Structure 1
Amino acid sequence: MKTSLLGVAAIICTMFITSCSSLTPVNDATEYSSRSFIPKPRAIEAQAKIINKHANLDVMPIEINDEAKSMVVLNSVLEETNDLFAGFLLKEAETYIGTPYRYGGTTRSGIDCSAFVRNVFESFNKNLPRVSAEQAREGVAVSTDDAKEGDLVFFATRGRGRVSHVGIVHGRNKDGVLEFIHSSTSQGVMVSSLNDKYWGPKFLYVKRVL
């Protein structure tokens, strides 16, 4: 099933790249999509290549003539594609678990929170700023209820509501509480949750950059 889903995702993404001029304009697509956006072809192409590589697929583009229907299908498949992409991204993030924290560090011998996030996303050709406060300006805000794997979580560890820490949403625990993977000053790269007595009160918001 997952391989089939990967194939469909890659097919539709390829279709979008090769025939995007035939799709319904963004301004006319609001009734078909809650997100109502068309990602940059470059980003879609990068994701499609990664998905094809991991799924060992080589797909060809297809044609969908009904523009309204194709917009619905496209947005649906893009959601699935981003979910799969986030899965690959988290697998990369997990390879850092246990890496010690180092202020200003950018390598696996020692890394700080924003460098960790940047390195993980850079592995998939997604460039983010170096520091957490600038990373917080990227993407769009989402609620904690709508947050999903691959989103970024921001914290004010120094007070005054200013961003000073960042992590990547890792999922939810058995109680449905958001969990995130990050480089903490005390234990290095690890998975924590928003109900943690330290991180909970310092949580600010979630941003989606995928």
Structure 2
Amino acid sequence: MKRLIFIAFITLLTGSCKSSKQEKKVTSKIIIAPSAIDRPFTGHKKAAAIDSLKIDTSASKAETIITYAKQFEGVRYKWGGTTKNGMDCSGLVFESFRASNILLPRISRDMAKKGNEVPLNKVKNGDLLFFKTQNRRNTINHVGLVITSNNKNIKFIHATTQRGVIVSSLTENYWKTSFVEARRIL
């Protein structure tokens, strides 16, 4: 009888340790930009490894911003959106720069007042392209982030009302005719 009471007591004691609330699993995605440290070492001397770490900080900052922006590719358009639930063009640029501790205005026409204007043949990755699409006010109302550039073909990531966050080329007729200016923030 004592043994039965002891077993019941232990069962009651261990059974009451569980919480009635169920825990929700939280998953998060950590995005780490590629860096010189991630590159394989191919030299034979330590000096070569140190030289490989000497990188242009504006170029690496640009690649970090581009990598961050690319995670939103395919996200639907949402006016005023700044998350994977929906994104607009200036929200994409604003959030991508903010993730690298660079604060820009939230609206594309105000972003176009920051940084320095650059000619198209000098555009680099991380620069911003500004457009006047068919709007009544005839003001800048669209922005894209340059992800690859060479003199003949500039590709940029941006959010469109029809297709969401996509990569386009400045050689496309619509974007070529709507283009206003390029600006460098970095």
- Scaled by the length of structure 2, the TM-score of the pair is 0.69
Q: Identify the residue that residue 145 of structure 2 maps to in structure 1.
A: 168
Aligned match for 2:160, one of 167, 171, 184 = 184
In the TM superposition, structure 1's runs of 4+ consecutive aligned residues that sit over 6 Å from their partners are: none
Aligned to 1:125: 101
Which one-letter code corresponds to 1:96 in the other structure? F
Paired residues in the alignment total 139
Q: Give the superposition deviation at 1:108.
A: 1.1
Structure with a larger share of its residues in helix: 1
Superimposed CA distance per residue, residues 140-167 of structure 1 (whole angstroms, 9 cap, x where no aligned partner): 0001100000000000013565200001
SS at match of 2:57: helix
Verify the 8 A CA contact 2:123 2:149 in the aligned structure 1.
Answer: no
**CA–CA distance in 2 between the matches of 1:126 and 1:6?**
26
How do residues 108-119 of structure 1 correspond to structure 2 at under 5 angstroms?
A: 108-119=84-95
Work out which of the residue numbers 68, 71, 75 in structure 2 matches 1:95.
71
Q: Does 1:104 align with 2:73?
A: no
Structure 2: how far apart are the matches of 1:152 and 1:5? 30
Larger radius of gyration: 2
Note the residue ranges of structure 2 that are not aligned, 5 or more in a row.
1-35, 38-49
What is the Cα-based RMSD across aligned positions, in Å?
Answer: 2.0
Match of 2:148, SS state, is: strand
Given candidates 125, 128, 148, the residue that maps to 1:152 is: 128
Question: Following the alignment from structure 1 to structure 2, what is the Cα–Cα distance between the partners of residues 6 and 138?
Answer: 32
TM-aligned CA distance change 1:107 to 1:208, over 3 Å: same
Q: Measured at CA, do residues 170 and 5 of structure 1 come closer, stay the same or move farther in structure 2, by a change above 3 Å?
A: farther
- Contact 1:157/1:164 (CA < 8 Å) preserved in 2? yes
Q: CA deviation at 1:198?
A: 1.4
User: 2:60 corresponds to which letter in structure 1?
Assistant: L
TM-aligned CA distance change 1:96 to 1:6, over 3 Å: farther
* CA distance in structure 2 between the partners assigned to 1:92 and 1:206 by the alignment: 20
Residue identity in the other structure for 1:8: K
- The unaligned stretches of length 5 or more in structure 1 are 10-79
Residues 6 and 81 of structure 1 are in contact (CA less than 8 Å); yes or no, is this contact kept in structure 2?
no
1:145 counterpart SS class: helix
Counterpart of 2:9 in structure 1 is none
1:5 deviates by 5.0
Indicate the residue corresponding to 1:8 in structure 2: 54
